[in-house]
């Protein structure tokens, strides 16, 4: 069986036995998903990349403490949420002001990325949502997570997840109607 087809538990066992290539597969399997979660908090591509790298470093160092009480994906998403929140707290304490150089860097980044209008609109709508609604919606719609797993990741009840997603949909609908997009 090819290594890429192995489930997470087997890859973790192999990694803990010294097979570094198993962690590389885990990294490749989860990088984009973790990065999307982090970006939903940071709203900045560079910060999201940095925090995502820190998350995988933490996962690498902490994998031996993974207790298998929940799925690995739930564990890594919980780490992602916690580290994203920690990053935002730390950043808000620093209260950095933009310098002229930073504004130039942002303009260059925007020109390089050039996301489509639809993508920009989708991001704008998502970032209008309160944090928990946004994350619950992303985990449900983009990541295909079930309410039970989202509840574990967000550390709330399944009923709360249902409510968060319902309110997110209502807020998206209201935003679209208000801006005459729908």
Q: Average pLDDT of 17-39?
A: 95
| pLDDT one-digit tens code per residue, 108-155 | 444 444 455 566 777 778 888 888 898 898 888 888 889 998 998 888
Q: Average pLDDT of 91-100?
A: 51
pTM (whole model) above 0.85: no
Q: Is 45 exposed, middle or buried (0-12, 13-18, 19+ CB in 10 A)?
A: middle
Q: Average pLDDT of 160-176?
A: 89
| Chain region(s) in the chain for CATH 1.10.1740.10 | 1-114
Q: How far apart are CA 43 and CA 103, in angstroms?
A: 16
Residues in the chain: 182
Q: Which structure tokens are listed for 73?
A: 């994906």
**Domain at 1-114: CATH code:** 1.10.1740.10
| Chain region(s) in the chain for CATH 1.10.10.10 | 116-182
| Whole-number pLDDT of residue 69 | 83
Q: Which structure tokens are listed for 33?
A: 């998903």
**Domain at 116-182: CATH code:** 1.10.10.10
């Amino acid at each position: 069986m090819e290594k890429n087809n192995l489930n997470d538990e087997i890859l973790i066992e192999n990694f803990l036995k010294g097979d570094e290539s198993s962690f590389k597969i885990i990294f490749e399997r989860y990088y984009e998903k973790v990065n999307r979660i982090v970006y939903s908090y940071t709203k900045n591509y560079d910060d999201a990349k940095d925090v995502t790298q820190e998350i995988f470093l933490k996962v690498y160092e902490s994998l031996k403490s993974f207790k298998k009480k929940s799925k690995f994906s739930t564990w890594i998403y919980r780490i992602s949420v916690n580290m994203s929140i920690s990053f935002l707290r730390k950043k808000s304490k620093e209260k950095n002001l933009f310098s002229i150089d930073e504004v130039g860097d942002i303009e260059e980044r925007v020109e390089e990325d050039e996301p489509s209008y639809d993508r920009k609109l989708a991001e704008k709508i998502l970032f209008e949502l309160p944090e928990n609604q946004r994350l619950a919606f992303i985990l449900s719609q983009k990541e295909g997570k079930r309410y039970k797993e989202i509840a574990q990741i967000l550390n709330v009840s399944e009923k709360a997840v249902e409510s968060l997603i319902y309110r997110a949909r209502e807020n998206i609908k209201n935003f679209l109607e208000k801006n005459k997009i729908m």
